[in-house]
């Protein structure tokens, strides 16, 4: 069964998110803390998508098409203020990937994002943050050889190549390191506790 209306709705959620992100980039505000309006968009999108998932199950490719399936993943990936929703989705996405109804790379990104927010090592090296030297670097992972093997198994480039791409993209988007690394770290910690990623 193909849910055309729902597919359109999911794509709209993604567009709302990305249009506002572009606006922040244009106004050189991207990356300056978690923008309150951006946070509101992410929270609202998560709630709408959660209702959709409760109605039709995970929006797999066979149900909503490739475009809306990718859009759903992006909305989930940005639902960082809803740990329970993200954890619920990662389980559903695992099943969808095992049935060839979703992209394994999306599962890798979501798994890593949850691990990083929980303070664990990431598995595929997909998540980046500013380091002490003001460089965008991968969040902690176990072993570069293992990470690159896992990345290759799902068709991703090497972590070294990806690091280069991410740093170039940040320059292009005028995404700058925080002026105070330690303060930024503490604020993130506080936020992670507030929304329930860590105790």
At residue 179, does pLDDT exceed 90? Answer: no
Q: Which of 103, 7, 108 is nearest to 59 (CA)?
A: 7
Model's pTM, two decimal places? Answer: 0.94
Please report the pLDDT score of residue 36 as a whole number.
92
pLDDT, averaged across the chain: 95
- The string of pLDDT tens digits covering residues 107-131 is 999 999 999 999 999 999 999 999 9
The tokens for 23 are 């606006």
pLDDT above 90 covers a percentage of the chain that reads 86
Phi, psi of 136 (to 5 degrees): -80, 120
Long-range contacts made by residues 49-58, C-beta under 8 angstroms, separation at least 24? 49/10, 49/13, 49/75, 49/76, 49/79, 50/82, 50/85, 50/88, 52/6, 52/9, 52/10, 53/88, 53/89, 53/92, 55/6, 56/3, 56/6, 57/92, 58/89, 58/92, 58/93, 58/95, 58/96, 58/102
- The string of pLDDT tens digits covering residues 18-59 is 999 999 988 888 877 789 999 999 999 999 999 999 999 999
Report how far residue 35's alpha carbon sits from residue 6's, in angstroms, rounded to the nearest whole number.
Answer: 28
- The string of pLDDT tens digits covering residues 60-88 is 999 999 999 999 999 999 999 999 999 99
Domain ranges in the chain?
A: 1-102, 121-199
CB-CB neighbours of 33 under 10 Å: 13
Q: What is the dihedral of CA 18, 15, 127, 34, to 10 degrees?
A: 50
């Amino acid at each position: 069964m193909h849910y055309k209306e729902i597919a359109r709705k999911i794509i709209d959620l993604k567009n709302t998110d990305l249009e506002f992100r572009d606006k922040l980039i244009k106004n050189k505000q991207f990356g300056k803390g978690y923008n309150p309006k951006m946070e509101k968009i992410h929270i609202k999108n998560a709630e709408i998508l959660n209702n959709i998932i409760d109605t039709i199950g995970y929006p797999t490719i066979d149900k909503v098409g490739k475009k809306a399936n990718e859009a759903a993943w992006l909305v989930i990936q940005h639902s960082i203020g809803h740990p329970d929703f993200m954890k619920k989705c990662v389980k559903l996405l695992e099943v969808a990937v095992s049935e060839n109804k979703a992209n394994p790379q999306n599962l890798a990104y979501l798994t890593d994002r949850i691990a990083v927010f929980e303070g664990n090592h990431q598995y595929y090296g997909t998540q980046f943050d500013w380091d002490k030297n003001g460089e965008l670097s991968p969040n902690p992972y176990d072993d570069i050889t293992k990470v690159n093997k896992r990345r290759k198994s799902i068709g991703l480039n090497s972590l070294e190549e990806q690091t280069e791409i991410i740093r170039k993209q940040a320059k292009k988007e005028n995404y700058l390191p925080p002026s105070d690394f330690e303060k930024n770290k503490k604020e993130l910690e506080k936020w992670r506790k507030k929304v329930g990623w860590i105790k």
